[in-house]
Structure 1
């Protein structure tokens, strides 16, 4: 599922949850979800299927990607979502899922290794709607967003039938009133006891929203079963990174196996790194300067390999780690170092670079350095005295970007 673009909150880094983890959080907050179990072995899956005693069972591969139902496993099995009424068929299906890669429209060409599957009771859906709670800058707080057209991307509903999207601002001091959630339930097409239950579920979802410091809780579909029970069938939860320190239990749920390993390594040593698909590695102090550096590379017809902000208080150890992360990317042909000496002087940065390059693994690719600001001349002199032959110093950022691109072309 995709978030509502009109209300999406800006984030630094998302904590991605698997479907079963989102269901665990919802169940903890008295939100109706399917009965389920998680399995990491075929034996666990078999026991779970027998223990559910459900009329029909759904087996779902757990990866951080959409389109699982239309995916394909490296084992040859089609689809990451399977239904069966016979528990005896579960082990054979799971054998073809666990330990194999699942490729979907949202994964790489290689696919993603599946290490867990969710075994859940399959419920029929008589009615599909959409419901979300999210932070909205324009409203200055939370809003509820709903649509009677569930089971599809909300952006598609907004484009084809905008009158079917309802928004209700929520007082952040009091939360949504029962009247507000009941009115939303009615707009989504719930009636009678189902409307009362839908309203109560919305209240519980708001409790979850607050308790985990979320910026978005999106349920699609927010459904109704044939026996008139309101169930949250799938969820996307986005967390406020600034509140992460309050929730160590959530951080323990993080699965880094599907994340870019360089991004995980950078985060562990206090660097802000995002990998991209270019060949010019960037090492910059300051987010704004990093973005400007990437723009200039693009302006001259090349592509940056990353966003990397080492910050104002960078240490020699962090500089060494930054160079390691950049050179671990085999697409990087040149590193452009763009430093404005403010809190940290250019001399400090230069000394850190020299120490990192001399003490760490040998870096053979060209490095272009542009220094400006506090102690700039001392910093450049430090680089000249270093004896490092693969460093080129440029005073102008434009010229530094051009030199990086030319050197990358020569190294290709």
Structure 2
């Protein structure tokens, strides 16, 4: 689950991570009063959307004077902001965060995430922050510092001090950097986060550190432990289809291709998407049916695929085993086809428990489909069918 910048800063503030004073407004006429109450003479007016690179798209405005703050808010609110992370349709700006402007002597990058190659929580840091951090890290791999945390021994103050020194920090700033890293590590564990990124982490002219922008992503699967955090979800920011999928306990992510995909198991789903891309296909979604899914949940998931007008073919790749059987998936597909109709080619690979029964179920209920005996054959058929339909 993504958090907005203002939410992430408020949460990290409880852990001792400093950031400039700010105020959230959803009406342009409230912006001037908000800026005045914050104090100072200049402010940053920031569009609150779940996407990065806002500054490059004009979503962050530095202004002087309260009336300029109101003007900037008016220009952003109600507009669709298009960044490389939003897609061409952009995202609607429903609120802006007005924050005291801070002069930075230097801008650094600091993040904490899960390093899956080592199976550890790790810090990433750079002497220079900014929106082009990913490109610079690729061009100069050595510019990005890495510090993995040993799960058995926990946060290492000495190692953190070494990372602060690598960032060129000294004295009070170096000590503060260690404090911030310790706070991030504590927050990361306690909040079940998957990413906390401060970019930039500003070194002010007075020699202190402050978080100018924060991105925080929480693990959806752990939200049952954090009812207060779950309440922060901004459903307006979610793709409507993804939101509908969540209602039926389906792991679904909308993509831009034309081949609908339904798979049971996240690993198998990722492999299926990779094979489709390898073959020249373009997946329209990631859909993982959970092991305990019912026939009705499968049916709702398949209806989401059938309603997507950009889809030219559908690939179902399921392996029966454990709780979920292939015939349960087939019954759900048949139910969806009865209510929605099947307008595109359907390719089904059903292996494992009741795979043959699944094929017989689909045939008995009049669902037109192409059976596939292997993943490779299923992928090849789906790519061919989608290309033929799109042509």
Q: Same fold by TM-score, threshold 0.5 exceeded?
A: yes
**Which residue in 2 is equivalent to 1:149?**
128
**Which residue in 1 is equivalent to 2:69?**
90
Compared CA separation, residues 198 and 329, structure 1 to 2 (3 A): same
1:340 Cα deviation from its structure 2 partner = 3.2
Q: Does the alignment pair 1:38 with 2:24? A: yes
Query: Deviations for 1:347-387, whole angstroms, at most 9, x for unmatched residues?
Result: 433333333332x2333333333434434444333333323
Compared CA separation, residues 268 and 177, structure 1 to 2 (3 A): same
The one of 350, 356, 361 aligned to 2:340: 361
The one of 63, 77, 94 aligned to 2:49: 63
Compared CA separation, residues 312 and 140, structure 1 to 2 (3 A): closer
Query: After the TM superposition, which residues 44-193 of structure 1 pair with which residues of structure 2 at under 5 Å, given as runs?
Result: 44-71=30-57, 79-137=58-116, 140-151=119-130, 153-159=132-138, 164-172=143-151, 175-193=154-172
With 366-375 and 223-232 compared, the bigger mean Cα shift is at: 366-375
**Which residue in 1 is equivalent to 2:369?**
392
1:20 Cα deviation from its structure 2 partner = 1.1
User: Quick one: distance in 2 between partners of 1:354 and 1:152?
Assistant: 47
**Which residue in 2 is equivalent to 1:283?**
262
User: Quick one: distance in 2 between partners of 1:211 and 1:259?
Assistant: 25
**Which residue in 1 is equivalent to 2:318?**
339
Compared CA separation, residues 46 and 278, structure 1 to 2 (3 A): same
**Which residue in 2 is equivalent to 1:219?**
198
**Which residue in 1 is equivalent to 2:7?**
21
Tell me the number of residue pairs that the alignment of Structure 1 and Structure 2 aligns: 388
User: Quick one: distance in 1 between partners of 2:320 and 2:83?
Assistant: 45
Compared CA separation, residues 91 and 409, structure 1 to 2 (3 A): same
Query: After the TM superposition, which residues 187-266 of structure 1 pair with which residues of structure 2 at under 5 Å, given as runs?
Result: 187-266=166-245
1:87 Cα deviation from its structure 2 partner = 0.7
Contact in 1 for aligned 2:155/2:182 (Cα 8 Å): yes
Contact in 2 for aligned 1:20/1:118 (Cα 8 Å): yes
Contact in 2 for aligned 1:341/1:372 (Cα 8 Å): yes
User: Quick one: distance in 2 between partners of 1:376 and 1:106?
Assistant: 40
User: Quick one: distance in 2 between partners of 1:288 and 1:213?
Assistant: 21
Compared CA separation, residues 365 and 141, structure 1 to 2 (3 A): closer
Contact in 2 for aligned 1:368/1:392 (Cα 8 Å): yes
- Unmatched 5+ stretches in structure 2: none
For residue 201 of structure 1, give the secondary structure of its aligned residue in structure 2: helix
Contact in 2 for aligned 1:380/1:393 (Cα 8 Å): no
- CA-based RMSD of the aligned residues comes to 2.9
